Structure 1
């Protein structure tokens, strides 16, 4: 909660700074009035969301529109403001002469480029799928599984989908990988099992010779909306479990299965959602591995990456590879030339990509779908393909 006032302050300072560039380049009162009117309306919308949520009344669509407007309004201003700040430092030692029109034009150009990038993310980014490939080496991988491939999906959030063609584009990419095993690591829906009804057929057509397996994520339990009764919520969860089967996925609920190939095997383990902080801890790794041999090669599906750091790494059995999701990479960030950054890194130590600790690996999927923000900016939707190698 302490981060929210700080972020709000950053936005406001960026807004005030950017106005300096606007006022330097134009003296028209109508433009200045429009600039602040939009800000006032946006702040009013944010305040209304806060009060509506407290009253238990809110529209996800309205929230998504406001989030998008905030990003389009504030982020270009904040990231272009350092140019004006640098000018002010120079002006400080020169007796504060008038602002340079050239510097203001540079700030405006940076803001314009960021505005276009954000607009692309909000309109096209949600289905701008990226196939990310990793090869991971294990000295004790069974010989038969050398080169074994796993396609991982996570965070489908079908309640946010509206573009059938866009979703199918992603499903076609999944099938094109022709992986041995297809795994889904939770958050099939936003809240209700019925959100998946239009999409069951498409996901059912996905094929993998060694099977399709899944686990539940925090949103799948229906904990974030009000139900008429506990029985209604329980019925929704029961229906959601049926949906996994209709999609052709075997749902693992704190249990393990054996994947066999050429007389050798690996253990695939699936736990229910377990998250640090205020998230429910339904997952039970001890129970899930109760019948798994200690010397078995283990792949774990666990929706929230905090489970790896808090539980899995120190588990008495060696879990070779954990697959998680949950963070979405915040659906906003930068990934260029091996560099990656997103504000979510200040919440989760492991938030996107591959991590290693004590010879144990974690892969955090950026997610197939989207939630809240109706798009993705720089942190594109992901289809992960992991190749297991002996060595």
Structure 2
């Protein structure tokens, strides 16, 4: 965490210094120059102070998240428009390096303001700007009774971040409005503690589907990221969270499989505990979860972290037809326009949002229903996935 923050702050300073060139080109007011750097100094000093004081404290984490969100909000517009200043410098190099163009700097500042407005929308409205993503998948060996069968997937609720009951209800209603046959939740119900769900159980219990609701655990659900008074308290928290899934009407699959039956035919729904790379716990056991299943049965796997697909399930001896994951949130920041998709998370995760395929096996990574860390979503809106299974001829 500390190394990543250091890298981010170093990049922030480089971009900040470059962007400052546009500021001093447009205005020579000393008060503006001082205010520009004073804001940075206060934000970064606050971040460092909180980290030194104790990141494990819940109050410290809230302050850390808030300050980081403000810092990121200021950094994004600068980062987006800095390439324009770089292009100008390249042309200046071939023109004897004259002074900066007032009009180019003015354009840079104008565009930065526009980007800032998008960021503000993301932080205020974007966190509940729910989008439905529809995908149809074709399989030769899908049982004929399941031709046209629909699945609604949600992931990464992170209920501890929610503050607006009315806006969250919009997302719940939108999920129900899809009228899918099956509803699946792929982990990270809470940020840290099961108690975060207490005010929200009745709301999420409204989710319904005729063939049932099933869920798995995500990395945040184990309570690994806060300090507990004892190991016993941590274990009790996880046990309480498992009960919460029941109270919401979800069947929690813990390295288990169950059969979904329709017109005397069946498909297997498999759920593994969290399995991740790069320091994340590896509780998932796909071999155990599929051990009792008949060979050749059509399988849908719920596995919170998409890295599990590349590292384990795609090479599993029992063919897993479709894997559903979440975890990445699309970093809650990115660009998706006209088929183009980009987010910084793609430099950390090979599969990070949407549909992927390999050797007839599919992975769908949901962008997340909620938010965590960054108090909003910018360009990478909260997602409700609807998958329609079709039997190919």
TM-score computed with the length of structure 1 as normaliser = 0.97
Aligned-pair CA distance for 1:4: 5.0
Structure 1 stretch displaced more, 96-105 or 369-378: 96-105
Structure-2 separation of matches of 1:358 and 1:55: 44
Contact 1:10–1:78 under 8 Å retained in 2: no
- 1:131-142 matches, within 5 Å, as 131-142=132-143
* CA deviations over 1:314-350 (Å, ceiling 9, x no partner): 1110000000000000101111111111111011100
Matched, 1:51 2:55: no
2:280 matched residue in structure 1 = 279
- 1:131-170 matches, within 5 Å, as 131-170=132-171
1:195 matched residue in structure 2 = 196
Over 6 Å off, 4+ runs: none
* CA deviations over 1:188-209 (Å, ceiling 9, x no partner): 0011101011111111111100
Aligned-pair CA distance for 1:6: 4.4
Structure-1 separation of matches of 2:305 and 2:226: 20
* CA deviations over 1:127-177 (Å, ceiling 9, x no partner): 000000100111100000000000001000000011001100100100100
Structure-1 separation of matches of 2:338 and 2:390: 25
Structure-1 separation of matches of 2:271 and 2:56: 37
Structure 1 stretch displaced more, 167-176 or 82-91: 82-91
1:118 matched residue in structure 2 = 119
Matched, 1:33 2:34: yes
Unaligned runs of 5+ in 2: none
1:333 matched residue in structure 2 = 334
Contact 2:123–2:375 under 8 Å retained in 1: yes
Structure-1 separation of matches of 2:387 and 2:330: 19
Structure-2 separation of matches of 1:137 and 1:175: 24
Q: Tell me the secondary structure at the aligned position of residue 141 of structure 1.
A: coil
1:178 matched residue in structure 2 = 179
Contact 1:193–1:237 under 8 Å retained in 2: yes
User: How has the CA–CA distance of structure 1 residues 383 and 237 changed in structure 2, closer, same or farther, with 3 Å as cutoff?
Assistant: same
Aligned-pair CA distance for 1:358: 1.3
2:346 matched residue in structure 1 = 345
Unaligned runs of 5+ in 1: none
Matched, 1:308 2:309: yes
2:364 matched residue in structure 1 = 363
Structure 1 stretch displaced more, 48-57 or 345-354: 48-57
1:224 matched residue in structure 2 = 225
Structure-1 separation of matches of 2:77 and 2:10: 15
Structure-1 separation of matches of 2:294 and 2:4: 44
Q: Tell me the secondary structure at the aligned position of residue 261 of structure 2.
A: strand
1:17 matched residue in structure 2 = 18
Aligned-pair CA distance for 1:52: 2.8
Contact 1:157–1:369 under 8 Å retained in 2: yes
Aligned-pair CA distance for 1:65: 1.4
- 1:224-263 matches, within 5 Å, as 224-263=225-264
Contact 2:54–2:60 under 8 Å retained in 1: no
Structure-2 separation of matches of 1:15 and 1:253: 47
User: How has the CA–CA distance of structure 1 residues 379 and 146 changed in structure 2, closer, same or farther, with 3 Å as cutoff?
Assistant: same
Aligned-pair CA distance for 1:55: 6.9
Contact 1:257–1:267 under 8 Å retained in 2: yes
Aligned-pair CA distance for 1:58: 5.1
Structure-1 separation of matches of 2:205 and 2:4: 41
Aligned-pair CA distance for 1:105: 0.8
Structure-2 separation of matches of 1:3 and 1:374: 19
Structure-2 separation of matches of 1:237 and 1:10: 38
Q: Tell me the secondary structure at the aligned position of residue 313 of structure 1.
A: helix
Structure-2 separation of matches of 1:163 and 1:71: 23
Aligned-pair CA distance for 1:17: 1.3
Contact 2:55–2:61 under 8 Å retained in 1: no
